[in-house]
Structure 1
Amino acid sequence: MLRVDKSEKNIVFQISSETSLVDKILKETERFVDRVKDENRSGLMIVLRELLLNAVIHGNNNVAERHINCRIEKLEKTRLRVEVEDEGSGFDYRNLDMRLPENPNHLKRRGYILINALSDRIEFNSRGNCITAYVTLNRESFWRGENPQL
């Protein structure tokens, strides 16, 4: 199931928890921000992909009958608000470690590390099943966690 509602400033999706639908949302989002050069929207696409995959796999545990709501809102010319909410029980985001792992082959928390690095700011609802990322399309990414030991 995939529902899309578009306006000039917003695009809203409701999907069933199927990873195959993530690419369809990414394509619709590319059309929504089509006036922006490809290289400047890659951060948005990575953030959106990671948020959606996390909601499907971890939030809704790949249960296709559960839904995910996604809303992308144009705040300014190059600034977007991306909100993804799943029907899962949530998690305690206050203990989320955004530091790079010592072993770069360790993939745990990779999604949140990327989301944190490519977003201006991220927010969670109190339950931990909805995350909002603020993304500037042409910004350079930078690290906002504790400095890793080199």
Structure 2
Amino acid sequence: MRAITYIINDPVNVSDIVTLILDYITLGNSVSEDTLFEIKVILNELIVNALQHGNKSNHNKHTYVTFKLIDDDYLYVSVMDEGSGFNYSKFSLVKDLDCTNSLYCDHGRGLVIVRQLCDKIKFNKCGNKVSIIKNLHLQQPKNI
């Protein structure tokens, strides 16, 4: 499958884009409800982070959401904004949702959740693009 990219600049469009991606994934694939829910959480967190934190809710800046299926078993998603990025190395130090460090009590929870739901997560050098890989755990069709 070739990669598909959507361009967003308004948070109102997030649920439409998430629905389009989920519809594409389930077209001809038997994906569990749990996996679909996890993908929905991942997409929402990454896209909203890019719009709000990366682009600072500036409707003149774009967020690029690219996805593709890899061997029909894995979902690849990248989300890139037009912001200056962030220091993702601090994020890599946070292992769970414990808020003992006040720096992460108001920000960063979404990325911790995303990391826990994905098989792989990677940031570009400046921190304005995140890419994930998620196993779809495809279910075998039931024989009747």
Q: What TM bracket, shorter-length normalisation?
A: 0.7 to 0.9
CA contact (8 A) 1:72 1:81 kept: yes
Task: Report the identity percentage.
Answer: 27
Counterpart position of 1:111: 110
Q: What letter matches 2:109 in structure 1?
A: R
Counterpart position of 1:125: 124
CA contact (8 A) 1:84 1:132 kept: yes
TM-score, length basis structure 2: 0.82
User: Which of residues 101, 111, 119 in structure 1 aligns to 2:98?
Assistant: 101
Q: What letter matches 1:128 in structure 2?
A: G
Gapped regions of structure 2 (runs ≥ 5):
139-144
Counterpart position of 2:7: 14
CA contact (8 A) 1:11 1:32 kept: no
CA displacement at 1:132 relative to structure 2: 0.3
Higher relative contact order (CA 8 A, sep 6+): 2
- Counterparts in 2 of 1:1-150, with a 5 A limit? 8-16=1-9, 18-34=10-26, 35=29, 36-96=31-91, 97-99=93-95, 100-102=97-99, 106-138=105-137
CA–CA separation in structure 2 for the residues paired with 1:40 and 1:73: 16
**Mean Cα deviation higher: 75-84 or 126-135:** 75-84
CA–CA separation in structure 2 for the residues paired with 1:102 and 1:124: 23
CA–CA separation in structure 2 for the residues paired with 1:135 and 1:32: 15
CA–CA separation in structure 2 for the residues paired with 1:40 and 1:131: 20
Runs of 4+ in 1 over 2 A off after TM superposition: 8-11, 35-40
TM-score, length basis structure 1: 0.79
CA displacement at 1:9 relative to structure 2: 4.1
Gapped regions of structure 1 (runs ≥ 5):
1-7, 140-150
CA contact (8 A) 1:98 1:116 kept: no
CA contact (8 A) 1:26 1:49 kept: yes
Q: What letter matches 2:59 in structure 1?
A: A
CA–CA separation in structure 1 for the residues paired with 2:43 and 2:21: 9
CA displacement at 1:107 relative to structure 2: 4.6
